[in-house]
């Protein structure tokens, strides 16, 4: 799991960076937090309030807040937004009935002034469950293609095994703020991290609905324009019929 933060470390400087993990209850947020920290699944109970852990990769420190997702707690999410550089939204890929609610919460968050410079990483969790939604399906339901003010990436994953989280690190790196003088260099990093299985798709306004895509990204950047990239790899997490 440290690969995700190792990739981020190559872009961020040597300071502590704040990450928040949000999502509805039972999405798998706490399990993902401790996969990042301990590289193993741990027994968890519903989070009341929040969990916070410092995750160090080489000399880079990430302060990661896992925030409870019950209805009674979601109104307090905004108290964690200040100085957040990355928002990790965990989605239960089997919970079709509440995906509209997840979309509403996501877009409400991104409208908050304290998150105006935050990057967004959506983790489509529970891909090991048969008939779970794909990353492409969830992307469309969340209308990620309408997000133009934040870099975003969606990745299929399984929190219990850690599958897909390493892929996230290999395919995309997130950051919250691109300084004017670093924009061209950052664009190079994006291309470098995306690897040979991704390609640029300039001018695309709609994300693909095809099954078998485990990740999708859009990185608004003044050097490159708002360009979308489509993962061309077969999704290794989909249960076989």
Measure the N-to-C terminal CA separation of the chain; round to a whole number of Å. Answer: 28
Please check if 69 is assigned to a binding site. yes
Which tokens sit at 193? 């991290």
Please check if 26 is assigned to a binding site. yes
Please check if 127 is assigned to a binding site. yes
Please check if 209 is assigned to a binding site. no
Please check if 187 is assigned to a binding site. no
Task: Mark whether 70 is an active-site residue.
Answer: yes
Please check if 10 is assigned to a binding site. no
Of 16, 70, 192, 223, the catalytic one is: 70
Please check if 38 is assigned to a binding site. no
Please check if 225 is assigned to a binding site. no
Residue stretches of the annotated binding site = 23-30, 47, 69, 125-128
Kindly list the catalytic residues: 70
Would you list which residues are annotated within the binding site for GTP? 23-30, 69, 125-128
* Binding site, annotated residues for Mg(2+): 30, 47
């Amino acid at each position: 799991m440290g690969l995700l933060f190792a990739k981020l470390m190559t872009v961020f400087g040597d300071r502590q960076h704040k990450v928040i993990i949000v999502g509805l209850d039972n999405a798998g947020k706490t399990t993902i937090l401790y996969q990042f920290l301990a590289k193993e699944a741990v027994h968890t109970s519903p989070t009341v309030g929040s969990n916070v852990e410092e995750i160090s990769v080489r000399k880079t420190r990430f302060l990661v807040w896992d925030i409870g997702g019950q209805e009674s707690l979601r109104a307090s999410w905004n108290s964690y937004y200040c100085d957040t550089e990355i928002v990790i939204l965990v989605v239960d890929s089997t919970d079709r009935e509440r995906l509209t609610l997840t979309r509403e919460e996501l877009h409400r968050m991104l409208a908050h002034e304290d998150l105006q410079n935050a990057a967004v990483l959506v983790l489509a969790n529970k891909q090991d469950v048969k008939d779970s939604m794909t990353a492409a399906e969830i992307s469309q339901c969340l209308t990620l293609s309408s997000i133009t003010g934040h870099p975003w990436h969606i990745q299929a994953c399984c929190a219990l095994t850690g599958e897909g989280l390493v892929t996230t690190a290999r395919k995309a790196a997130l950051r919250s703020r691109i300084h004017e003088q670093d924009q061209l260099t950052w664009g190079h990093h994006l291309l470098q991290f995306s690897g040979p299985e991704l390609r640029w798709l300039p001018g695309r306004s709609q994300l693909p609905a095809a099954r078998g895509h485990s990740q999708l990204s859009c990185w608004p950047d003044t050097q490159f324009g708002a360009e979308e990239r489509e993962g061309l790899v077969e999704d290794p997490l989909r249960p076989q019929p």
